Amino acid sequence: MRLCTNCGQESPDSARFCAACGAPLEEAAPAREERKVVTVLFADLVGFTSRAEEMDPEDVRALLAPYYQRLRSELERFGGAVEKFIGDAVVALFGAPIAHEDDPERAVRAALAIRDWVREEEEDLQLRIAVNTGEALIALGARPEAGEGMASGDVVNTTARLQSAAPVNGILVGQTTWRATRDRIEYSEHEPVAARGKSVPIKVWEALQAMSRLGMDLEQRMVTPLVGRERELGVVLDAFDRAVRDREPQLVTLVGVPGIGKSRLVAELFQRIEETPELIWWRQGRALPYGSGVSFWAFGEIVKAQAGINENDAPETAAEKLHESVTQTVDDGTRPTGGVRRVAALPRGHGRAATPRPRVRRPALGRRWAA
């Protein structure tokens, strides 16, 4: 018998159309699977089972609905995919069905965002989160919205075990995730987890916060000479010389496939700058490939690095640092404009009195900072 995928009615093997609804009966496509390295995020509410026992089902639903919605929003904002909701637990994948080069970092940042939301805005909720990276078998045709599992493998089970051992409103990550993100995320040591079914304890770390970026994280060590890039290096050096000579910002765009040498070219520029006797301020910003409102993110990181603004600075402290940096750089009584405050992700109303928004063209916004 053949099963209709439209209505679920069984039909004879010789039938080409469903006898109940008339839909064409298609041959079942073979399941497509592939091995992929994925990062699994597992989040679970603390003590919710006993709490729900005393609540009306409608009240439970009213409490969980915004929780589900917020978690899905945060996970998808960082490029993750919600695989399933199990009661009050959420399982998400980073790296499947769409893979990114920084999936472990995305997963940990999503976990930090969820944790901070619960700590700051949801006093009635507490949760535990675990993030782990490993190889899994991915069902390419799975439909998570229909309850079909997408990933299977030890990494999924291990993440569930780590979640149960995580501190309340805390995040535990496995060793592979830690290695991939330790330069971006601040961690504290945690005792190994003796997980059920594991022959040896699992090494874990607790994620604390995203590290503040100081504007320079490019590896500068070169052990081999640069070959075949003299013309491209000349273009970059000429742009730098024009910026120094004319005191005007210069834009150079490097486009190429991964591994072709874009970072190496920038490192060569940095090395040439280090060899000059003149003092040069080097600042670096990274444009995030996820989230919204990130058009000026790289420029904002440069501004915050120049002002010494840390990620965990209070708005008042950050505004004061921004004002002092502008004063020292320009030295003509100029105060940070509303545009610079927005680029640096600072509210206009914090710290010193906000200045009116200048009526200038957008390129003028970064003219003082990019030179």
Residues 54, 137, single domain; the answer is yes
Looking at residue 96, its pLDDT comes to 84
Looking at residue 107, its pLDDT comes to 95
Domain boundary among 210, 226, 255: 210
Residues 23, 100, single domain; the answer is no
pLDDT, mean of residues 261-276 = 84
Question: To the nearest 5 percent, what fractions of the chain are helix, strand and coil?
Answer: 40, 20, 45
Looking at residue 15, its pLDDT comes to 83
* pLDDT > 60? residue 221: no
Domain count, the chain: 3
Residues 11, 125, single domain; the answer is no
pLDDT, mean of residues 165-191 = 93
* pLDDT > 90? residue 60: no
106 or 27, higher pLDDT = 106
Residue 239 in domain: no
Residues 74, 122, single domain; the answer is yes
Helix (H) or strand (E) holding 51: helix 48-53
* pLDDT > 60? residue 305: yes
Residue 260 in domain: no
By CB atoms closer than 10 A (0-12, 13-18, 19+), residue 268 is buried
Looking at residue 170, its pLDDT comes to 94
Per-range mean pLDDT, top range of 63-77, 168-182, 272-286: 168-182
Looking at residue 39, its pLDDT comes to 95
pLDDT in tens, 90-136: 999 999 888 888 899 999 999 999 999 998 888 778 999 999 999 99
150 or 360, higher pLDDT = 150
Residue 232 in domain: no
Residues 202, 101, single domain; the answer is yes
pLDDT, mean of residues 281-287 = 79
Residues 73, 157, single domain; the answer is yes
**28 Cβ contact partners less than 8 Å away, ≥ 6 residues apart:** none
Residues 11, 96, single domain; the answer is no
Looking at residue 269, its pLDDT comes to 86
- Give, in order, the Cα–Cα distances in Å from 275 to each of 66, 220, 264, 271, 361: 56, 13, 17, 6, 36
Residue 72 in domain: yes
Residue 290 in domain: no
Joined tokens for residue 22: 């008339």
Evaluate whether 96 touches 36 at the Cβ level (below 8 Å).
yes
* pLDDT > 80? residue 292: no
Residues 21, 90, single domain; the answer is no
* pLDDT > 50? residue 362: no
Residues 198, 96, single domain; the answer is yes
247 or 357, higher pLDDT = 247
Domain boundary among 210, 228, 255: 210
Residues 56, 195, single domain; the answer is yes
Residue 284 in domain: no
Residues 302, 319, single domain; the answer is yes
Read off the pLDDT band of 369 (50, 70, 90).
very low
Looking at residue 333, its pLDDT comes to 55
Residues 17, 122, single domain; the answer is no
Helix (H) or strand (E) holding 40: strand 33-45
* pLDDT > 50? residue 275: yes
CATH classification at residue 96: 3.30.70.1230
Output the pTM of the full model. 0.66
Q: Can you say whether the dihedral through the CA atoms of 228, 234, 236, 240 is positive or negative?
A: positive
Looking at residue 27, its pLDDT comes to 64
pLDDT in tens, 314-328: 788 888 888 888 777
Residue 236 in domain: no
* pLDDT > 60? residue 246: yes
Residue 274 in domain: no
Give the strand pairing for 127-139 and 170-174.
parallel
Residues 137, 141: Cα–Cα separation, whole Å: 12
By percentage, how much of the chain surpasses pLDDT 90? Answer: 27
Range of the domain at 9: 1-30
34 or 287, higher pLDDT = 34
pLDDT, mean of residues 265-272 = 86
